[in-house]
Amino acid sequence: MCGRFTQTKIDGYGIAQRFDVPMDPDEATMGRYNVCPTEQIAIVSVKQEEERKLRSARWGLVPGWAKELGKQREPINARSETVAEKKPFADLYKRSDRRCLVVADGWYEWLRSENPKQPRIPFRYTVDDELFAFAGLFGFAKIGEEWVTSATILTTRANEVCAPVHDRMPVVLAGPDEEAAWLAGSDDPELFVPLAAARTTVRPANPAVNRAGVEGPELIEPPPAEPEAQQTLL
């Protein structure tokens, strides 16, 4: 699954150039080291055959019938194996104008500690140390007088690098060609295969990332090793 990710880049022009979009992203979606569900994320979409558009969306798909946010299931992930048949994803999957790229440069997974009293151990995964895109779906819901855009991220089985920590990973589209195919409505199952392990890097992250709302570049670095306890001289 994918329950947290990063988009640490702050170069709006570079992001726009990488994803061939004409506008800069919402600043709230940039320079993020701990993106959590319900927060704003940057997505790229295409309306019919018009140019690509970069917009922000709430992470967690809000049903079109919802009257309030957070009062119903708002899935942050959709399994790629069943996305074409399972509600509420199937109707969006069939429409190319409801597919999106979720802009990211890393994601987190957690390993349970052998000591149940200790916190889970976070790991951050990156792809060629560059920006990339998760395959996503998005939709709209009218909450009160406001239209809310929300999105979910597709997942697939884990590759060899991710599997020791979790049996699932996000669908990372392999490159610009695959991103274009996804946005165009392709049903090619090759889009959903796990990203090549050779392109995936994993490093321990700071346990501080376990808490939602915490931000900062220190989160993607492992904590400093604890100094050895001083020996007592007898």
Catalytic residues: 2, 109
H or E segment at 13? helix 12-18
The 10 Å Cβ neighbour count of residue 203 is 13
**Measured distance CA(96)–CA(45) in Å, rounded:** 9
- Alpha carbon distances (Å) from 27 to 9, 10, 59: 10, 8, 16
For tokens 């001289």, what's the residue? 233
For tokens 């151990």, what's the residue? 121
For residues 16-31, one letter each, b for 16 or more C-beta atoms within 10 angstroms of the residue's C-beta and e for the rest, the string is bebbebeeebeeebbe
The 10 Å Cβ neighbour count of residue 95 is 12
Residue 177 has what DSSP assignment?
H
Q: Looking at this protein, which amino acid is placed at residue 156?
A: T
**Measured distance CA(195)–CA(80) in Å, rounded:** 14
Per the CB < 8 A criterion, the answer to whether 139 and 87 are in contact is no
